[in-house]
């Protein structure tokens, strides 16, 4: 799942996943509240990976991360922060709140594809 208010970034993210494996299913949410609706639905969505943008309207990435951490059925999901900014304090804070890693949005599709492959390989090889 990708939670990001930027539709360009949603599109780029989908393209990168397509390049890795066209079988990967990705649910998009434009903000934290919309994402939580889906994650807390009667038939809840249980993604393997959740990527959260930092700078979002209504509920910022950090608040969204905290809410997701409260959900029992998502205990096994790997949650990543996914943002343009690379502020040290934000990185530390998100990791302290339970994010697996803080991924800085790379300048290019190939770079993003490569980054995501690394993430999946690493998590798969645990």
Partner 1 sequence: MSNSKTPSVGTDLEQVIEQLRKSEERYHKMIAEVEDYAIILLDADGIIQNWNRGAEKIKQYRESEVIGKHFSIFYLPEDIQDNLPERLLRIARENGRASQEGWRKRKDGTRFWGSITITALHDDDGAVIGYSKVTRDLTERKIAEDQQDEATDRLKALNAELTLSEERYHQMIAEIQDYAIILLDPEGNIVNWNAGAQMIKGYSSEIIGSNFNVFYTAEDRKRKLPETLLDYARTHGRANHEGWRVRKDGSTFWGYIVITALHDKSGALIGFSKVTRDLTEKKMAEDRLVAYANELENRNRELEQFAYVTSHDLQEPLRKIRTFTEIIQKNEGNPAVVSRYFEKINRSAERMTNLIKSVLNYSRLSRGNSGFVNVDLNEIMTQVQADFELLIAEKNATVQVDKLPVIRGDHQQLEQLFSNLVSNALKFTNSDPVVRIQSRFVGTEQIINRPDHVQEQRYVEVLVADNGIGFEPKYADLIFTMFQRLQDTQDYAGTGIGLALCKKIIENHQGFITANSEPGKGANFYVYFPDRTPSQ
Contact set with partner 1 (CB under 8 A):
5-9, 12, 15, 30-31, 55, 57-58, 84-87, 105-110, 112
Residue 117 near residue 20, CB atoms below 8 Å: yes
**Considering beta carbons, is residue 15 or 122 the nearer one to partner 1?**
15
**Considering beta carbons, is residue 65 or 74 the nearer one to partner 1?**
65
Q: How far is the CB of 121 from partner 1 (least distance, A)?
A: 22
**Which element (helix H / strand E) includes 15?**
helix 7-20
Q: Give 33's contacts (C-beta < 8 A, 6+ positions apart).
A: 58, 59
Residue 105 near residue 111, CB atoms below 8 Å: no
Q: How far is the CB of 3 from partner 1 (least distance, A)?
A: 13
């Amino acid at each position: 799942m990708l939670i990001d208010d930027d539709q360009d970034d949603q599109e780029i993210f989908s393209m990168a996943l397509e390049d890795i494996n066209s079988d990967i299913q990705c649910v998009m949410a434009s903000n934290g509240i919309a994402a939580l609706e889906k994650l807390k639905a009667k038939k809840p969505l249980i993604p393997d990976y959740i990527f959260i943008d930092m700078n979002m309207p209504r509920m910022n990435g950090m608040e969204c991360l905290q809410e997701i951490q409260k959900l029992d059925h998502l205990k096994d999901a790997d949650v990543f922060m996914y943002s343009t900014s690379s502020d040290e304090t934000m990185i530390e804070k998100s990791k302290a709140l339970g994010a697996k890693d803080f991924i800085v949005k790379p300048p290019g599709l190939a770079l993003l594809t490569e980054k995501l492959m690394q993430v999946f390989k690493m998590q798969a090889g645990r």
